[in-house]
A and B are shown apart, each in its own frame.
Chain A
Amino acid sequence: MKYIFTLLLSLVLATNAYATPPQMTAGSYNPQGTLIEIEAHGLVCDFCARAIEKVFLKRAEVSGIAVNLSDHRIVISLKNGQNLDDALLEKLINDAGYTLARISRKEED
């Protein structure tokens, strides 16, 4: 019973995690693609946010991007079947002038 409850709770949490489509600040959200969430350091102004958007939107793999200055978070929506590996993500963040702190991924259906 405990395992069933844990399984159900995990499913509910996983479903709700991206229940509301993330609002993109540039490009568009692709519900079929992978979502990557990055925490980056040094994001303090709109010029920083625009730099991140410009660098990532040049990539053919990227459908949309959302930059949130308050929690230093970048959400990247990828096109169907596309991926950006961790090393490339770190390079892109560094190339834009910022420092990568954390990466997490959510595979969409």
Chain B
Amino acid sequence: MKYKLIYLALLLAPTAAYARPVSYPGGVTVMTQHNDEVTSSHIHYSPTAKYSIGHRYENHREANFQLHAAQLNYLVNRWNKPTSQANVYFKTGLGGAYNDRGKGTDAVGFVGIAADWETRKYFLSYENRYLNAGKIGDNFEQHARIGIAPYVAEYGSIHTWLMLEAHYNKTAEDPFRLTPLVRLFKGPALVEAGISTSGSALFNFIYRF
């Protein structure tokens, strides 16, 4: 059962302002996310620390469609300071979507901007994305996060973050959602779990190879 859950988490999971989408040169990252609206996965490879390319899968349960897309993540700018780092990313993707309630298949495309600022103690992020799947529909969603680490851990130890995520998607059943969550981070692995104010469970997982 444990392995089935891990396998499910790796296969599934959407866009969210929860981690940098570009790794070190040659790095491969698996990102998954699950909440009541969407389950998604994104696997990407970074040829350089400026951009990554990969595959995205999303299952929109509320909107009844699934998509597969090739995604590009581009680091527009990074500000490295002695005790902080800030980033702005551009993300875009192109692929196909399938609706199982009679709308059939169509091309899908999306664009978005993500920004974050992080120290070892504080975290802020914002991300948006416009998605258009032709006759299947379109949406514009936004995520913002604030986080604090109750203690500062050394590299290789377990890092704990307490975060609050705000999510807005006007086409969703529950357009505005606040989700308090806990992030646990150790070495190459990051796990997040939370429950939104409307009772929706959130589970995210990232592994950087």
Interface residues of A (CB under 8 A from B): 25, 40-52, 54-55, 58, 67-70, 72, 95-99, 101
A45 touches B82 (CB 8 A): no
Q: In the complex, A70→B121 CA distance in Å?
A: 11
Interface string of B55-89 (1 = CB under 8 A from A): 00000000000000000000100111111110000
Residue-by-residue, is B184-195 near A (CB-CB < 8 Å gives 1, otherwise 0)? 011110100000
Across the interface, do A67 and B49 meet the contact criterion of CB distance under 8 Å? no
How many A-B contacts if CB must be within 8 Å? 78
0 or 1 for each of B133-164: is its CB under 8 Å from A? (1 = yes): 00000000000000000001011100100000
Tell me the bound Cα distance from A67 to B22 in angstroms. Answer: 20
Chain B facing A: main interface SS: loop
Of the candidates A25, A41, A47, A54, which one forms a contact with B20 in the assembled complex, judged by CB atoms under 8 Å apart? A47
A97 vs B154: C-alpha distance when bound (angstroms): 20
- Candidate in A45, A50, A99, A101 with the most chain B CB atoms within 10 angstroms: A45
Whether, in the assembled complex, B110 has its beta carbon less than 8 Å from a beta carbon of chain A, the answer is no
